[in-house]
């Protein structure tokens, strides 16, 4: 059964990308607009790397139901990471050269919460995803995105809201 968040089916963990969907972007845009787009894409790319690693290192092999959801969430976050990496290159930008620091933060978040148990995994997931929803909201409001990129951000934000709802349901919150 697919869950829905507005116009987006969040039950689709990894949306299909067709070759025709890849485009060179940014022509005719002002320097300031491109600067804001680059900053926003770099932020999202690094934060999604952190989120994917958080889930990667939370997977324990001990709780089949939770692990299945963590694997799906990790795949979804890896897809988001790729979404923004592709957009960076479409605009002629490069990812943040210090993104490896976010890899480490994701490792620390994931590993320490796994050691602390199921409740810590779920509360860390809720915290990380709530912050992600806030970041997406701020970036959607403050950057003049091209229409295709805006749709990617909206879909990815819907996914993050779905993760918050799932982790809260598993934790027993409403």
Instruction: Report all structural domains of the chain as residue ranges with CATH numbers, in order of start.
Output: 29-171 (1.20.1260.10)
* pLDDT tens per residue, range 91-114: 999 999 999 999 999 999 999 999
- Could you tell me the pLDDT band of residue 174, with boundaries at 50, 70 and 90? very low
Tell me the pLDDT band of 173, cut-offs 50, 70 and 90.
low
pLDDT tens digits along 37-91:
999 999 999 999 999 999 999 999 988 999 999 999 999 999 999 999 999 999 9
**pTM of the predicted model, to two decimals?**
0.92
- Grouping H, G, I as helix, E, B as strand and the rest as coil, residue 47 is helix
φ, ψ (nearest 5 deg) of residue 5: -130, 90
Altogether, the residues listed in the chain come to a count of: 174
Please say if the pLDDT value at position 2 is more than 50: no
């Amino acid at each position: 059964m697919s869950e829905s968040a507005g116009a987006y089916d969040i039950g689709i963990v990894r949306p299909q990308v067709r070759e025709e969907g890849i485009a060179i972007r940014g022509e005719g845009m002002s320097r300031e607009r491109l600067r804001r787009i680059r900053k926003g894409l770099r932020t999202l790319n690094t934060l999604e790397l952190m989120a994917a690693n958080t889930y990667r290192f939370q997977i324990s092999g001990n709780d089949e139901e939770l692990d299945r959801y963590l694997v799906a969430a990790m795949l979804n976050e890896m897809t988001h990471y790729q979404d923004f990496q592709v957009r960076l290159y479409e605009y002629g930008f490069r990812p943040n050269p210090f993104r490896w620091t976010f890899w480490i933060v994701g490792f620390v978040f994931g590993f320490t919460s796994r050691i602390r148990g199921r409740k810590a995994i779920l509360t860390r997931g809720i915290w990380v995803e709530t912050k992600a929803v806030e970041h997406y909201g701020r970036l959607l409001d403050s950057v003049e995105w091209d229409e295709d990129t805006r749709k990617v951000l909206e879909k990815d934000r819907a996914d993050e809201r779905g993760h918050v709802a799932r982790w809260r349901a598993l934790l027993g919150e409403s």
